[in-house]
Amino acid sequence: MTRVYLDWNATSPPHEDVIAAMRRAAEDAWGNPSSVHARGRAARALVEDVRERLAAIVGAHARDVVFTSGGTEANNLALRSATALVTSRLEHPSVVRAAEALAGPVEWLPVPPSGRIDADDVARALERLPAGATVALMAVNHETGVIQPVREVLARTRAAGARLHVDAVQALGKLDPAEWAQADSIALAAHKIRGPKGVGALVWRGSPALLTPLLQGGAQERGLRPGTVDPVAVAGFGAALERVDVGPARNLELGLLRDALETALAGRVQRNATEHRLGHVSNLSVPGRSGDELVAALDLAGVEISSGSACSAGTAEPSPVITAMHGIERARSALRVSLGETTTRSELDHAIAVLCRILTRESSST
Q: Which tens digit of pLDDT belongs to each residue from 87-110?
A: 999 999 999 999 999 999 999 999
Q: Which tens digit of pLDDT belongs to each residue from 281-332?
A: 999 999 999 999 999 999 999 999 999 755 555 555 899 999 999 999 999 9
pLDDT of residue 2: 87
Tell me whether residue 356 is one of the annotated catalytic residues. Answer: no
Chain centre distance of CA 68: 14
303 forms bridges with which residues in the sheet? Answer: 4
Identify the band that residue 273 occupies on the pLDDT scale cut at 50, 70 and 90: very high
Q: Which entry of 19, 311, 352, 359 is annotated as an active-site residue?
A: 311
pLDDT of residue 46: 98
Q: Is the pTM of this model over 0.85?
A: yes
Contact between 136 and 86 under an 8 Å Cβ cutoff? The reply is: yes
Instruction: Write out the H or E segment, with its range, that includes residue 134.
Output: strand 134-138
Amino acid at 100: E
**Euclidean distance between CA atoms 19 and 235, whole angstroms:** 9
**Euclidean distance between CA atoms 23 and 219, whole angstroms:** 27
Average pLDDT, the chain: 95
- Angle (CA) 80 192 148, round 5°: 65
Q: What contacts 162, CB < 8 A, 6 or more positions away?
A: 86, 126, 129, 131, 132, 133, 134, 135
pLDDT of residue 365: 56
Identify the band that residue 344 occupies on the pLDDT scale cut at 50, 70 and 90: very high
The 3-state DSSP class for residue 177 equals: helix
**Lowest-pLDDT range of 170-174, 197-201, 249-253, 338-342:** 249-253
**Percentage of the residues of the chain whose pLDDT score is greater than 90:** 93
User: Is residue 15 over pLDDT 80?
Assistant: yes
Amino acid at 175: L
- The residue that leads in pLDDT, 365 or 164, is 164
The 3-state DSSP class for residue 192 equals: helix
Q: Which tens digit of pLDDT belongs to each residue from 229-268?
A: 999 999 999 999 999 988 888 999 999 999 999 999 999 9
Query: Mind listing the domains of the chain with CATH numbers?
Result: 16-244 (3.40.640.10), 246-364 (3.90.1150.10)
Task: Dihedral sign for Cα 310, 111, 73, 12, please.
Answer: positive
